[in-house]
């Protein structure tokens, strides 16, 4: 069981994107940085804002600054530099197929049209990595998706997304020690 060594939050850089649904991965990793006390700073060699915690198992946090469609460039740069295997990667991203308030862990699968996942898979040559999917809901029609993810959620939806972020951060200890099945059980079980 491989411990997670790199957590990537997907989003778009720039003030105009800060509160958009597509930045749910950024929100999660920013909260994770606070909990783990990992300082995030610009890292030009990784095309990102990044930080790391040293210890028995180094933990890297990464917020690619390449825009969503080129996220893989940043992820691959850091993974190659630190020789992190794909089994130790967790990508946190917005998920149209889940409602706001839902969070799901899974390993592998398709990219579901998500351009960030698509580019990471292209750069790494595989889709077989862990994902934490944060539900943002679906606008109802495929043609509305781009506009939908690049806009902020409604106030009640934002509350639900924040609640899912906090709930999923409760399984961070299991995630970090590589016990993803325990993390999934805890996260996916309704109480």
Q: Is residue 141 part of a domain?
A: yes
| Phi-psi sector, 79: left (phi>0), alpha (psi -120 to 50), beta | alpha
Nearest-5° Cα angle at 135, 60 to 50: 15
pLDDT tens, residue order, the chain (191 aa)? 688 999 999 999 999 999 999 999 999 999 999 999 999 999 999 999 999 997 767 899 999 999 999 999 999 999 999 999 999 999 999 999 999 999 999 999 988 889 999 999 999 999 999 999 999 999 999 999 999 999 999 999 999 999 999 999 999 999 998 899 999 999 998 76
Q: Is residue 60 part of a domain?
A: yes
Is 12 annotated in a binding site? The answer is no
Give the other-Cβ count within 10 Å of 22's Cβ. 23
Concerning whether 22 is annotated as a catalytic residue, the answer is yes
CA pair distance 160, 142, nearest whole angstrom = 23
Range of the domain at 170: 6-188
Q: Is residue 19 part of a domain?
A: yes
Q: Is residue 1 part of a domain?
A: no
Q: Is residue 128 part of a domain?
A: yes
Is 47 annotated in a binding site? The answer is no
CB of 108 within 8 A of CB of 86?
A: no
Q: Tell me the CATH number at 164.
A: 3.40.50.1470
Structural domain total, the chain: 1
pTM of this structure: 0.96
Is 115 annotated in a binding site? The answer is yes
Q: How many residues does the chain have?
A: 191
């Amino acid at each position: 069981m491989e411990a997670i060594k790199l957590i990537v939050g997907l989003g778009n850089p720039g003030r105009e994107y800060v509160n958009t649904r597509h930045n749910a991965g950024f929100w999660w990793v920013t909260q994770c940085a606070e909990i783990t006390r990992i300082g995030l700073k610009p890292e030009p060699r990784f095309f990102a804002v990044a930080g790391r915690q040293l210890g028995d198992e180094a933990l890297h946090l990464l917020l690619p600054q390449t825009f969503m469609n080129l996220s893989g460039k940043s992820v691959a740069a850091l993974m190659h530099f630190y020789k992190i295997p794909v089994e130790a990667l967790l990508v946190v991203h917005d998920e149209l197929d889940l409602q706001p308030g839902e969070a799901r862990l899974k390993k592998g699968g398709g990219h579901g049209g998500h351009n960030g996942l698509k580019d990471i898979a292209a750069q790494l040559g595989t889709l077989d990595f862990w994902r934490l999917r944060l539900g943002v809901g679906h606008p109802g029609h495929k043609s509305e998706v781009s506009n939908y993810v690049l806009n902020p959620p409604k106030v009640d939806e934002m509350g639900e997304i924040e609640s899912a972020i906090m709930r999923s951060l409760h399984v961070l200890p299991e995630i970090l020690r590589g016990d993803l099945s325990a993390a999934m059980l805890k996260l996916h079980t309704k109480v």
